[in-house]
Each structure stands twice: as structure tokens, then as C-alpha cells.
Chain A
Amino acid sequence: MSDKPSTPSLRATDAGGPFSRRHFLWNSGGGLGAIALAWMMNRESAMAAHAKGFTIGQPHFRPRANRVVQVFCAGGVSHLETFDYKPELEKMHGRSLEGKGENLGFFGQPGTLMKSLYDFKQHGQSGLRISSLLPHLAGCVDDLCFIHSMFAKSNNHTPAAFQMNSGFTQNGFPCMGAWLSYGLGTENENLPAFVVLPDARGLPAGGSINWTSGFLPANHQGVAFRTQSAEPVPDLLTPPEIPSAMRAADMDLLAAMNLDFARAHPADGAFAARLRSYELAARMQSSIPEATNLSSEPESIKQLYGLDEPANKGFGKNCLMARRLLERGVRFVQILNGGSFGSPRTNWDGHENVKENHDTQAATMDKPVAALLQDLKQRGMLEDTLFIWSTEFGRSPLTQGVGSLGRDHHPSVFTCFLAGAGVTPGCSYGSSDEIGYKVGEKMVTIPDFHATILHLLGLDHEQLTFYHNGINRRLTNVEGQVIHGILS
């Protein structure tokens, strides 16, 4: 211990002296964000250096979509009860399954083949079929692009949900929204680039891992809004006893002193990120309440989303909020439909009785999602917004156990749909086999799905990388092919 009387470490590397900087900051007001941002970007560029020839925050080529909204239906939506019409299954109703190999269900109790519990009719100009479970979405069919040949790796909710959201079944990998925030930056500094609107009934399996930034810098993490609260983000609002002028002065002081510390630690991105986090927090204090306040919406819009109907109220509100967030430049909004597991389940996990379960769930999902599609379309936003409807896996064409009315998890084929920017409307891609058990034609893996989404946003999924633990990590790992067949 050779030192003289203790001196703060920030002095050692502090060539400019804090006073001049502080003065600059106090006089320039908003300069801090840009400085901190520059540091953040330097760090990110260093980590991205292994990927040649592209700039962080810029698309690689001309994007078709500028923003994304993803509806994620937790629990596993049955493709057979919604979008995948299987007349052969009807004929084989009640029979046992032979010649398809091992049963892929989670609980391993194969029953007998069960026909769809709903009627399928053709809709719209395209004549695509949707079941009677989803009358409102049926009205949007000409805007939708179905992928009937989705394939997931896991038949367990948590890893399957992680795969749909992050590409990996293990936890800790950055989610799609985080990759887009990292790859494209934000369009609105005053709102998080990646917002999650959880179902009021609880969080999906794996909770906040479904919107983690993993090893990407933490500012790309999804921010989950408490959508039923007057204060959507905890501690968002300044206590009433603190006037705004004083709060502004607090913030200036804090920023000036934090900046010194960050400068003394140029290698530690977290310090610069914290500077930015205060700045963002201050702006969020006004921008989030404004964005999430639905009172200025006309009655007709509220009715469109079904806000006056008990079944749609919670989720419908989130869908409308999503539109407002997208309008204000949020890059990626994820809306979760379906809450937690346990008993009773409040998600799509229809093990015991698919009809009972899906009736309840669809009543909350169908109308608001259709409303969001229509609303985006009527505002011209569907032109440059990519709409994703997804779930973690489908459900088995077999009953779960003999005599049951339930269906087990089924990752080996299921349906998702896309709509909006760059996607062929009213189209159907790939297929399941005759009974919806396995992929028939044109398998689409989750990495293919992700590669296509990145492509629509102007990003090459092989070039969007981040160096971590010796590997240039990608959303699509070492797989993924853009599905050119669905691009318009």
C-alpha cells in the first residue's frame, strides 16, 4: 500500500478535468446521450468486428419492414383446430396411429387420432381455410401468409418458447427483439427499442428469459410493461412531491458525476450504458404514459379491439397499446397471449380438453389480433410493419391417452403466420402430412423463420453477429435459410 492519502481513482485517467465537462453538459442539456451512445457503439463495434463490412445500427440492404409486432400465444396452439385443414384426419378419426414412428408428445400417452374439433371454411378472395374457432381472423385471411410446415426442436414449453424467441432451447441467448434492437438501433430514443406486453394473467414459461438480451449489451433487453397499471413500468413516475425542475437538476448533477466515472472506466460498457439508462429513464417518464394511455383513442377504435367486452379487455388493450408503440417508433413489440401454467392453466396448453381450452383462449385472442391487423392496414402501417403470429409448438393429432379430449404437445409440425411488409398476402406455404403429424412439404425450422424475419428487416442473418466466448454468435446459430417463397 504505497499510496498517499486516498485519491479517487477517476482522477488518474481524467485528462480533461470534470469541471469543463460538467459545464458543457449543464449548458448543452442533451449532449450526454450522444456521448454515451458513442461509447456504447464503439464497444459494440469492437465486439461485432469479426463480422465484416457492416455498420451497427444500419440494415445490410434495403429493408422491407421497419418494425415488428409479434403475437406469441403461449402454451402451444393446435394447428388442427385453427389454420391447418386436414380432411384425411376426419376419415381416420378414432383409429390408432401406425407407421409414423415414435410418439412425440410430452407425456408419452398416445391415444387415438382425433379430427379437428371445429369446422373449416374457405374465406376471402384467397379461399384459404380457417376454422370456426377464429371468425375475426378469418376476415383477415387475404392479408395473411401461413406457414404450415413449422418445425420446433423441443416438446417442452420453456425450451420451445425460448427457441421461438431466441433460436436456442437453452436460456441465456438474446431474443429476436434484442437482436433487432442491436442490429438496427431504435427509431425513438424516448422509448425502449424492444417492448413486451405480457398477458395480465401471468408470464409464460421461462418468464423474462423470453425477452432477455442474453450476452448482447443489456440496453437491448426487452422492457416488460405492466399493462394493467397506471404506472406501466415500476417506479416510472416521479413522486408528486418532487417538482420537475428539481428533478431535472438532480439528473444533471447525477449525469455529470457519473460521466466522470464512466470516463475513468472506458472499457466497462456498463458505465456508459448506465449513463444512457438515466437519460432514457427521464424521457420514458413522459413518453411511456403518453404511449400507453388509450383514452385519446376514438370509441370506434376501442370497439374494434373489443375493449368493451370482458373477454377481450386485457389482451385487446395490449394490442391497441402495441399499435401506439409501433406508431411511436418502437422497433419490436411482443404481445403475449396466454399466462402462466399451473391449475387452472391460463394459456393454450389443452392437455385435458382442447375444445374447452381453445374456446376460452381464442375468445381473448381472435378479435383483438384481427383488430390490430385491420388497424395497422387502415393506417398504411402494414406496408412497413412485419406482423408475426407464433406459438411454441402445435398439438398432436392424437388424443392424449385413450378416451381423452385433450391433445399433447407437438413440435414436429405446426402453423404460424406472417403478414405485412414484404410478405405475400393471402398465401399458404409448406404443408403438414395428411393428418398433421409431420411436415409434408417445405419444412421451415425456427432458424429459417428467424432468417426470413431478419431478411425482411434488411439484415443478413449470417452477418448479424456478436462475439461471445470465442464464437461469433447469431440468432440463427449455424442454420437458417430465408424462405424466399413467401416474399412479395
Chain B
Amino acid sequence: MFPSSAALLATLALVLPSAAAPASHPEMKVTDADRQHWAFLPLRKVMVPTAQDSAWARTPLDQFIRLAQEEKGLLPSAMADSRTLVRRIYFDLVGLPPTPEEFKKWSGRLTNSRDAWSELVEELLASPHYGERWARHWLDVARYADSNGMEGDDDRPNAYHYRDFVISALNEDMPCDQFMRWQLAGDEIAPDKPEAIAATGFIVAGTSTIVTIPMEEEKQRIRANELDDMVSTTGQAMLGLTLACARCHDHKYDPLPTRDYYRLMSIFNSGDRCDVPMAPPAQVREHAEAVARWQQQPADASRGEKPSDLPATFAFADFAPEPRESWLFERGDFMSRKEKLEMGFLTVLMTGKTAGQYWQTARDTKLRDDTTQQRRALAGWMTDLEDGAGRLLARVMVNRVWQHHFGEGIVRTVSDFGRRGEPPTHPEMLEWLTNEFIRSGWSVKHLHRLILKSAVYQQTSLHDERKAAIDPENRLLWRRRPLRLESEILRDSMLAAAGTLNPAMFGPSFKPPIPAEALQARNVKNPYPGDAGDSANTRRRTIYMFHKRVIQYPLMQAFDAPDAQQSCGRRMNTTVAPQALAILNDPFVRLRAGELATSLLVTAGPNPQQQIRDSFQRCLNRDPMPEELAAATEFLAAQIATHEKRDAGQNAPLLALTDFCQSLLGLNEFLYID
């Protein structure tokens, strides 16, 4: 299979041309007309319109929404009741159901006073669970996982620092432009901050292969693919552009020349993924010197302990202060290198400042000497509102936040803002929100407040045939779209309902118990532990679950968790029989049902009707209707009788109640948030 040494030499000769050939690639010309595409235009100041029917509106947002509805003769829906609203915002902001106590407090206050809503918004935005909930959305986009993927799927035990950075940044409301800059160049921007170093985990979160193949060509191919993942994910995640298309030819629809692609690629070509010490450069140097001193000492009893390793994070690091030589690959062929390229950005999003100027600024203010400062220049351009990509970045992020609140973006193709993407349903509103977002200092929490306080957010989900006839896809938001819980939130909510959720935050990911059958036929380097049992550690929130790329946790897979092979801006939402099987038979669900039943026996005592009422409150935040109570009581009595017969009376009430609780966890009403 492997080539002879002569063939290998021939291959190497192809890979490493001795001299640079003159530039030959005919360049796509990015014109002013290209810059007229709505997403690339400078931000416009937008006046809030006044809809004719202003009574419904609560915030400026609602004026935009209402005006668009009026043009189509559509009426919005009424305000949802307080139960619906409390549940809606809990799941939306913290991804957990309100406890019966929290629910009682807030639904009562909301019924009495509209102001309570603002207080509830603030309380939840301040909750540490907020970051855990919203980090998951960005981690989908960042294709974050805890293993390499591909054939070997080696573990990445230090990858979690990046996940922790995202959670903390959201909880602290780190300005979103800083959040983005750190993910591209945290090690260059704030080298003394360990979390800034961990932030560059974004660049490296994609799949990778540990190269053990002696074929130079194969190595080059893997490297080219990994660089492509970095370039295309950055483009998709931050700019909503399908940059990957420009790898082999100028983009067919958007003004993205192949040359721009390879200029961006050259930035990442100056470094690679590795375990980076989470310490300031000075401390890293001192540590290295201490290790060197230790090694020079004679290896006897007097030598003492070797200095312990510094904590490390799976992140990006440059190879050297000088950039690596980088090429334009003709037609994406990494063997075909005719033209050397320096780093650069997307021409269509550059006005007035050259890439060289950004780079010069970065080098003039550098805080460390061992990197190229290219990524810092990229970070500067990416968030530059005037001359760089900042306006597009801000629009993309506003749209992502909107999507998670409503189920659909203002631009429905959340990761494609190019010409082939869908235009915004409310272009003026997107512009206004983006301006507000920037005015607030890129505060994501400010954006949440603007949205959550609107009337459009607080509508009921009731269907209406006449309105549906006018706007079947609800593009004009005449009602609330019921949203199914994401797989992680479903799992978290079951733990919360059971009362056994372990709220411990941060740290290494836990490997949940996975049935042996899920592990079949895998050629993995770090096999999954066959004996992982249910423990307090595995009862933590799902964001802390070890995501091994080739072995997906069955419950997550059934409920459409992304596989982290590529950036995912919008999850699929399927309804299939395997989900029903997971609810009915997954040991995790059964365990939670048992825990819920056990705790109900304590809180409600032996009275079945009280047990049923409490279980409804715990899972659904409501009392059962009389018919439901009657049916459930009947059910419990029958199950107790059966269990008594079968198990000689052992624990019959508990087992029967467990059966009942498991049914509650499978209800649409548990799975969907109105």
C-alpha cells in the first residue's frame, strides 16, 4: 500500500516546489455592486415605525412586527397566560423547568403585576444556569466535542476549558465582540488570562486525525482538510458565509474569491491544535527553566520531585513568531502550488484599511513575542464595524439569538447570509436590533431583554386557520411556535423533575453510561468505558457530558443532537419512533422516574391523589384536570394490584408510581414548550 521510497521522493518533489512560480490565478473581481448585497452594507440607522394598531405593542420591536402584519391584514395572538410564560422563559433562558416553589412565586406575581416580568427576566439572566443553557447554542455552531472524531476518535481530555470559557463569558455578559476576538486570538490579546488562551479552542474544536501515516501526500491532505475546517467554520459561525465553497474555485454565488479563502487559511497555517499551558507566558518560561534545571541534576535521591506540569487546554498556538509559508492551492489541490500568499481577509468586507494595516497595528501593540499576531489582526478586522466585518458579524449574532428565542431566525438560513441565503423576514427590525446590540456594547443580555419584553415573545401558541391561510409558515409571527426541548434540555429537565440534578458547574466532562450495543464495531483509540455507572457525576447537566464523536449517547442522538462533525446553526427537529423507544426503555429515563416516585412518596405521603397532584406540579407546573386525576388514580390502583401480584407486595406503590412518572416524562406537554 505504501509507495516505494522513489515514489515517495517523487511525491515530495511535487509537494515542495523549489521556487515560487509567478502568480497565474485569474482573480475574481469584487466590485462595488457586490458590496450592495444587504448583509454587506454598512449599518443603517433605522427609525422605529409606528404601527396603526399600537395598543398591542410593548416595545419598539413590536412596532416592526405589527407593521408587517398589518400589511398582510394579520392580527397577532393574545398574551399567553402566566403559567405558559413562566415555563417558556425558564426553558428559554436557563433550560430547566421552574421548581414548584419558583413557579408559584412567579406565576402569582405575574398575575398581579406586569412589572414582575422584568424582574423575572433579570433573575434568570443572572442565574449561572443561563450560561449553561446558552453556551450549548454556540457550542453547536463551534462544532465542539471531546474527541477527535474520524477513525481513531482519540479523547481530548483538555478540551472542556473552551466549553467552560463559553459558559463563563455568557454569564458575565462578556461583550460579544470581545468574545469573538478571544476565540480567534485570546492568547495574543490577553496572554496572561488562562480563559483567553482556552477561548482559542474554537479554532480547533473540529474533527482531526492524529497522523501516523508515513505518506507525505496523506499528511498534506489531512492538514489541508483541517485548515479548511478552521476557515469554513469561522466563516460560517461568525459571518454566515459559506467560505468552504471558495476552496476549489471562486464562490459561485457570493463575492468570495478563492484568493480570499487562501489568505484566511494562511493565518491558521501558521499554527495548529495542541495542548497549551494555561498560564502567562512568563510563568510558562519559568516552568520550562525549572524542568530543565531538574533534568540537569543527577538522577539520585537528592534530585527531588520533577516540577508538576502546568494545567493545559486544548487550543490553538502559533508555531513561531514568523508566519509559515502559505500557498494558493489551484482548484483546491494542495499539490498545485503556484502562488505564495500573505494573510488577508475577505475583500468584500474591507473598506479603507488593508490587511497589512491591521497586522501592523497588532504587531505594534503585541503582548508576546512568540506568535505571528496574524490572528490578532484577524480578530481586529472581524469586529471592526467601520472598515471590517463587524457589521456582518453583529447581524449574524443578533439573528442567532433571535432564532433561539423564536425557533426561526429573522434570516432563516442562519449560517448563510449570502445571496443564496433567505432574505430577512423583517429587514428593518434586524437592522434596528443590530444597532441596539452594538449601542449596548455588544451585550447579549441586552439583546435578550429587548426580545423577552416584547409582546411578540409573549403571545400564545394558539393556531388560527384564517391567519394560517395568510401566513402558513408564521413568518410574520402571528403566534408563538411551540418548541420541542433540545436533547440536552430534555435530559436536564428529567433530572430536575426527579430532584436529582447535580448543579456542579465546569470541569472535566463526564462519560455517561452507554449500553454496550451502542459501542459496536468501532475502531477507537480511547474506548468508551463499559462500566460507567449512574452517579452524582453523571447527573450533572448535559453540557458537561463527554461528547465522543463516533459514539453518540443514544438519547441525544434520538432527539437530534448534532454530531459535531460540522458547524450546526440550526438543529433538525424530528419525531420518530426511536424517540418513543428511548422514553419508554432508556435506563436513564427509568432511573429518573424512579427517583421522582421515591421523592413523591416522601413529599406527598401515601395518598395517591396527592402523589399525582405533586407529580403534575413537578413535571408540568399545573394541577391535573379532574379527568386526568381520575384516570391517573385508576391507573395507579391497577398498577399497584399488578405489582403486588407479581412481586409479592414488594414496593408495589413505588413501582406503580414509577410507571406513572415515566409516562409523565414522555408527555408532549413535557417535551414541548408552548
Contacts and interface: CB of A to CB of B under 8 A. Distances in A.
Contacts of A268: 463, 482
B462 A235 contact: no
Interface stretch (A27-35, A62-70, A241-249, A386-394): A241-249
A242 B558 CA distance: 22
A2 B639 CA distance: 41
Given A1-B111, A9-B674, A223-B578, A254 B79 contact: no
Interface in A399-422: 401-403
B460 interface: yes
A277 B576 contact: yes
A250 B658 CA distance: 10
A228 B590 contact: no
A253 B632 contact: yes
Among A242, A284, A402, which residue has the most Cβ atoms of chain B within 10 A? A242
Interface stretch (B291-299, B485-493, B503-511, B663-671): B663-671
B521 A19 contact: no
B668 A274 contact: yes
Contact of B580 (A229, A278, A340): A278
B517 interface: yes
B269 interface: no
Given A261-B667, A281-B581, A353-B1, A245 B574 contact: no
A305 B311 CA distance: 55
Nearest to B209: A342
Given A6-B82, A12-B462, A231-B517, A219 B563 contact: no
Contacts of A278: 580, 584, 666
B111 A3 contact: yes
B517 A230 contact: yes
A6 B574 contact: no
A64 to B, nearest CB: 30
B638 A249 contact: yes
Interface in A238-274: 238-239, 242-243, 245-247, 249-251, 253-254, 256-258, 261-262, 265-268, 270-271, 273-274
B639 A246 contact: yes
B319 interface: no
A403 B7 CA distance: 8
A7 B628 CA distance: 14
B151 interface: yes
B554 to A, nearest CB: 4
Interface stretch (A93-101, A199-207, A293-301): A199-207
B518 interface: yes
B631 interface: yes
A223 B580 CA distance: 13
Given A9-B674, A17-B627, A250-B584, A270 B643 contact: no
B668 A223 contact: no
A176 to B, nearest CB: 18
B574 A223 contact: no
Nearest to A224: B578
Contacts of B85: 1
A250 B659 contact: yes
A13 interface: yes
Contacts of A221: 574, 576
Contacts, number: 223
B322 interface: no
A215 to B, nearest CB: 10
Contacts of B625: 8, 11, 18
B110 interface: yes
B635 A265 contact: no
Contacts of B536: none
B573 A270 contact: yes
Contact of A265 (B116, B482, B638): B482
Interface stretch (B22-30, B177-185, B329-337, B353-361): B329-337
A107 B335 contact: yes
Contacts of B482: 265, 268
Nearest to A238: B585
A236 interface: yes
Interface in B101-134: 107, 110-114, 116-117
Interface in B299-314: none
Contact of B668 (A22, A226, A249, A262): A262
B172 to A, nearest CB: 31
B461 to A, nearest CB: 7
A352 interface: yes
Interface size class of A (residues with CB under 8 A): 35 or more
B584 A258 contact: no
Contact of B81 (A9, A13, A200, A218): A9
B577 interface: yes
A254 B521 contact: no
Interface string A17-54: 11100100000000000000000000000000000000
Interface in B51-98: 79, 81-85
Nearest to B420: A170
A343 interface: yes
Contact of B667 (A207, A229, A254, A285): A254
Interface centre among A234, A242, A271, A353, by most chain B C-beta atoms within 10 angstroms, is A234
A218 B468 contact: no
Contacts of B218: 343
A253 B482 CA distance: 23
A356 interface: yes
Nearest to B330: A108
B213 interface: yes
B515 A234 contact: yes
B575 interface: yes
A129 to B, nearest CB: 29
B622 A201 contact: no
B107 to A, nearest CB: 6
Contacts of B400: none
Contacts of A8: 83, 620, 622, 625, 669
A376 interface: no
B575 A270 contact: yes
B586 interface: yes
A258 B578 contact: no
A257 B628 CA distance: 8
A246 B659 contact: yes
Most buried by B among A281, A356, A403, A469: A281
B601 interface: no
Contact of B627 (A1, A22, A352, A401): A22
B646 interface: yes
Interface of B: 1, 7, 10-11, 14, 79, 81-85, 107, 110-114, 116-117, 150-152, 209, 213, 218, 221, 330-333, 335-336, 422, 460-463, 468, 473, 482, 484, 515, 517-518, 520-523, 550, 554, 557-558, 563, 565, 572-582, 584-587, 590, 620-622, 625, 627-628, 630-632, 635, 638-639, 642-643, 646, 659-660, 662-663, 666-669, 671-672, 674
Q: Would you list the 6 A-B pairs with minimal beta carbon distance, nearest first?
A: A6-B83, A342-B151, A281-B580, A267-B463, A218-B574, A3-B81
7 contacts: A226-B518, A234-B578, A253-B631, A253-B660, A257-B628, A352-B1, A356-B1
Given A207-B565, A258-B668, 15 more contacts: A1-B79, A1-B113, A9-B460, A9-B461, A9-B462, A19-B627, A19-B630, A22-B631, A234-B558, A238-B584, A239-B585, A257-B628, A262-B668, A265-B461, A271-B668
